[in-house]
Chains A and B, each alone.
Chain A
Amino acid sequence: MARRVCEVWCLGVVVGAVGRAPAAGRDAMNTLSEVSTSSSAPSGEAALALAVEEVSKSYGAVKALDRVSLHVARGEFVALLGPNGAGKSTLFQLLTGLFVPDAGRIEVAGFDMRLQARKALARLGVVFQQPTLDLDLSVVANLRFHARLHGMGRGARARIDAELERIGLTERAKDRARALSGGNRRRVELARALLHDPVVLLMDEPTVGLDPASREQLVAYVHSLCTHRGVGVLWATHLVDEAESADRVIILHKGHWIATGTAAELRERTGQRSLRDAFLDLTGESSVAHEEAV
């Protein structure tokens, strides 16, 4: 089993290092009219895993998001890069249905989050920035809790076993979540988010508090999910190095969509040598970005 886990991690690292083929629909931009069915998507479901159109959100007088549009194709790894306060967490709260946008539309696998929330949420996997394991329950009880909330029935047991084996924590299944390290807790949260076979995986700054090795493993593993399970991933981060290997990078700043493209495209567009410099150039937040990147 340990060998298998190692293979999974290593595979992810290799995938992340050599880069991957551009994901389908990369160049499609910003409008839901581009959402169409394809042979790779289940019958009746849209090719795009996630589509966000002209979404705005204000808290009182503060405009947290202003007409933001983006999309994630199936199997695509999209990094949402922005400094603290850019509106990433607000966007994730809207994407997960915790709050509703003041304007605009969100679709998950073609299902409108407002009109077909149940179908949309059923296709969404989320790893929140804040830890959300119940530390008093065992690892397997946490996963079972999630499976039942998703109505997975008897099929849940096999999936729980498979996901635990995949992340190498089968032998810790009965341990209380409190006994796990920060890195292992994150892995359990990721396994939990994948239990119901989501079309899109939202990762909200998931590497906060992890050591460099755990961070690298997590990024590589999520890349492998895109490749082998066709999951579309929206990975929010303020760490530029995590965005380097993404299929596409979206830069968000002060609630505004600033730019999108591959890391190479953004470098080329700004005439900078590194993605970090391109990011600084596009946002003009050199001091903040420098501090965060370090």
Chain B
Amino acid sequence: MATKSEWQQGVPASRSGSIVSHALQALLALSSRETIKFLHQRGRLLSALVRPSLWLLIFAAGFRDVFGVSVIPPYSTYIEYQVYVVPGLLGIVLLFNGMQSSLAMVYDREMGLMRLLLTAPLPRSVLLTCKLLAGTFLSILQAYAFFAICALFRLDLPWWPGLLLALPAMFLTGLMLGALGLLVSVYIKQIENFAGAMNFVIFPMFFLSPALYPLWKLQESGATVVYQLARFNPFTYGIDLIRYAMYGQMNWLACGVVAASLIVFLGLAIWGYDPQRGAVRHKRQGS
């Protein structure tokens, strides 16, 4: 049997005080786990790609002549409807995966794995941020897989440098939506409630946004209330940020709203997971 001194060789970073190295390892742990689980769940990968593809190939193809899109920024010319909906569909890839991470948090809480995460010797804010980053990396992978599908169908997108320019915009939007997912996971007590809660998050956010049609069309058609709701939807600005970035333009308003929403959502989620103050403390687990 090994002696005590042998077991004390190689002091963990949690004891030596190097919090940056420790946080990076935690990020690696969470990213690896999310990626391995994602790759094991082939159905999830398939549905992550099929969902936006159906919108692109069926909905957009069917409505291409109904929804005429005039020349609006960031476009400098008339575009096909299928080209218009791509940023919105990228947004829904990010939105669904952000919510999927939320589902994973609820599942982990039910399965007990959450305890393992929350008892790691790192501040909860760091752990939750690592969790958020890990989920967002996965979102970005899926977004680029969707770009590959767009390429397969020869859509007239600004491939270069559009794909590269879209990366920071998708990353920021992915973080904001993932943070919203973390916040939602604070308040969903059981996995059975997840689907219901999602109906109040995913679909309103998606439809009350410029994902499928420009917002001015809502205004023009007299749907003022819907238009105003869409203006207060952070997802609206996430899509705008991606749409402008793809065409090499910066939409500062969208960037500001997305960044501010990220700070608010993450701050509330960290507050919610704080054992001293947040909502999670009220959930007694066992006697």
> Are A126 and B119 interface neighbours, CB within 8 A?
yes
> Are B25 and A197 interface neighbours, CB within 8 A?
no
> Are B29 and A145 interface neighbours, CB within 8 A?
yes
> Are B15 and A59 interface neighbours, CB within 8 A?
no
> Are B33 and A134 interface neighbours, CB within 8 A?
yes
In angstroms, Cα B2 to Cα A129, docked, is 28
Q: At the interface, is chain B mostly helix, strand, loop or mixed?
A: helix
Chain A nearest CB from B56 CB (Å) reads 31
Residues of B within 8 A of A134 (CB): 33, 37, 111, 113
Residues of B within 8 A of A264 (CB): none
In angstroms, Cα B120 to Cα A253, docked, is 30
> Are A148 and B287 interface neighbours, CB within 8 A?
no
Question: What is the total number of residues of chain B having a CB less than 8 Å from a CB of chain A?
Answer: 44
Residue of B nearest to A57 (CB): B284
Please classify how large the interface on chain A is, using the bins under 10, 10 to 19, 20 to 34, 35 or more: 35 or more
Residues of B within 8 A of A2 (CB): none
> Are B1 and A118 interface neighbours, CB within 8 A?
no
Q: B121-151 toward A: CB 8 Å interface, digit per residue (1/0)?
A: 1110000000000000000000000000000
Across the interface, A122 reaches (CB within 8 A) one of B14, B25, B287, namely B14
A131 on interface, CB distance cutoff 8 Å: yes
A183 on interface, CB distance cutoff 8 Å: no
A117, A122, A123 interface centre (most CB from chain B within 10 Å): A122
B10 on interface, CB distance cutoff 8 Å: yes
> Are A59 and B119 interface neighbours, CB within 8 A?
no
Known: A59-B284, A131-B112, A153-B25. A124 touches B119 (CB 8 A): yes
> Are A149 and B117 interface neighbours, CB within 8 A?
yes
> Are A136 and B37 interface neighbours, CB within 8 A?
yes
A105 on interface, CB distance cutoff 8 Å: no
Q: B59-77 toward A: CB 8 Å interface, digit per residue (1/0)?
A: 0000000000000000000
Known: A85-B287, A148-B29. A100 touches B276 (CB 8 A): yes
Across the interface, B121 reaches (CB within 8 A) one of A99, A131, A150, namely A150
In angstroms, Cα B33 to Cα A34, docked, is 43
Residue of A nearest to B7 (CB): A197
A137 on interface, CB distance cutoff 8 Å: yes
A-facing residues in B230-287 (Cβ within 8 Å): 275-276, 281, 284-287
Known: A145-B32, A152-B13. A100 touches B275 (CB 8 A): yes
> Are A118 and B275 interface neighbours, CB within 8 A?
no
> Are B284 and A121 interface neighbours, CB within 8 A?
no
> Are A151 and B13 interface neighbours, CB within 8 A?
yes
B12 on interface, CB distance cutoff 8 Å: yes
Across the interface, A228 reaches (CB within 8 A) one of B1, B9, B116, B287, namely B1
Query: What are the 7 closest A-B residue pairs judged by CB atoms, nearest first?
Result: A155-B10, A151-B13, A151-B22, A148-B29, A122-B14, A121-B121, A130-B112
User: Using a CB–CB distance below 8 Å, which chain B residues touch chain A?
Assistant: 1-4, 7-10, 12-15, 18-19, 21-22, 25-26, 28-29, 32-33, 36-37, 40, 111-113, 115-123, 275-276, 281, 284-287
User: Using a CB–CB distance below 8 Å, which chain A residues touch chain B?
Assistant: 8, 11, 42, 59, 64, 84-90, 93, 96-100, 117-124, 126, 128-132, 134, 136-137, 141, 144-146, 148-155, 158-159, 162, 166, 196-197, 224, 228-230
